[in-house]
Chain A
Amino acid sequence: MTEHNQDNNSILKIALNLAGACIISGIIIATVYYLTHDIAKQKQVELNTLALKSLVTEADQYTPIEGKTGWYTATQNGKVIAYIVPTESKGYGGTIKMLVAVGPDNKVMKYTILDAKETPGLGDKASRAPFNAQFAGKTSANLKVTKDASNKDDIQAISGATITSRAVTLAVKTAVDEVSNLTKGGK
């Protein structure tokens, strides 16, 4: 009987031990979260503005477009110089989230990849030159991937990362088409 009691006791002790550890851990995390989360939010906003600025450096003002979440117009001296459009497509390692800047003439200006899990060393080259430099000035018709090195009009695929190249190009194309719909509708 005493042995049985001891067993019970020890199970309870074990459970309490683990529960205690979890409570302490919970308190620590909660405290840190409470202390940091306002700052984190603020930094996130700053980071977003930074992403917008890096896309369209000349603009002096960014206004959100009504009815479209995450869309911005970049204006310089009151004149619209670019539309910034969030877009995404399925890459090799999951969703690729990007921001694309499209000029009022429906030509691509620049894009930045916000979030991607592409293979390091292969697919992640999509965020760097020379791949991303190819997009500047392209219209919707030329936004397709080619493996033919002599074809200068279309987008040259990253060797070894065709899926990523296609995904990024498709996402940019979607953004351009959406902007051309918007500008058509507005006129």
Chain B
Amino acid sequence: MKGLWNIFSKGLVLENPIFVLALSLCPALAVTTSVVNALTMGLTVTFVISTNNLVVSIVRNLVNPKVRVPIYITSIATIVTVAELVLQAFFPLLYKDLGIYLSLVVVFAIILARAEVFASKNKPLPSFIDGFGMGCGFTLAMLIIGAIREVFGNGTILGYQVMWSSYQPALIMILAPGAFILIGYLVAATKILSEYIEKVKAEKGEAI
């Protein structure tokens, strides 16, 4: 059980997809202008990455290593297409909001990376957990970026005004350069945090 927890939790901070692995920075810039967008994207990715890890892990012994990457891409594309079709039929409003994000998800580096690095070498359950943890880490990072950008760039959070009324929104935060600068700082912050975690772990190790 502890093993599974470790697999899950490493995606949150120590191997956070955006802040540490620096994968999928493109969506992190593009769709984090508001908390709602960031959350939607994060949840979509979490779903696709967990499902894909599960599928890849189940078929890992059937796949010829020479064509593994195309097969993983096919698997991701199938999951996304099926999700799109189902949403379109049963939740058209949600589909309207998610549509553009869903099609983008196919090409996310993080999903392919997890399939290649983890799911192709591990059993289904740990693979699913790994995908879920990575997805949660991705969502967390997106939420942090989204929240900061929405507060400073628009003076709101989830659409509600949080800054004083005379606050002049900093336009740069909504635009891509602001996101780049912000992600830079957040990467530094994550670095400090993970160094601290390592230190605490090392000290504990000594105590035992």
Contacts and interface: CB of A to CB of B under 8 A. Distances in A.
B163 to A, nearest CB: 14
A185 B111 CA distance: 58
B181 interface: no
The contact size tier of chain B is 20 to 34
Given A25-B75, A43-B92, A119-B33, A32 B85 contact: yes
Interface centre among A21, A36, A120, A122 (most CB of B within 10 A): A21
Nearest to A121: B33
Interface stretch (B60-68, B129-137, B189-197): B60-68
Interface in B10-32: 31
Prevailing SS type, chain B contact patch = helix
A47 B93 contact: yes
Contacts of B77: 25
A39 B100 contact: no
A48 to B, nearest CB: 10
A28 interface: yes
The contact size tier of chain A is 20 to 34
B61 to A, nearest CB: 12
B100 A117 contact: yes
B37 A32 contact: no
Contacts of A159: 171
Interface of A: 13-14, 17-18, 21-22, 25, 28-29, 32-33, 36-37, 39-40, 43-44, 46-47, 117, 119-122, 159-160
Top 4 A-B residue pairs of the complex, sorted by shortest distance between their CB atoms:
A121-B33, A36-B89, A17-B64, A39-B89
Given A18-B67, A29-B85, A40-B92, 5 more contacts: A14-B64, A17-B64, A17-B71, A29-B82, A32-B85
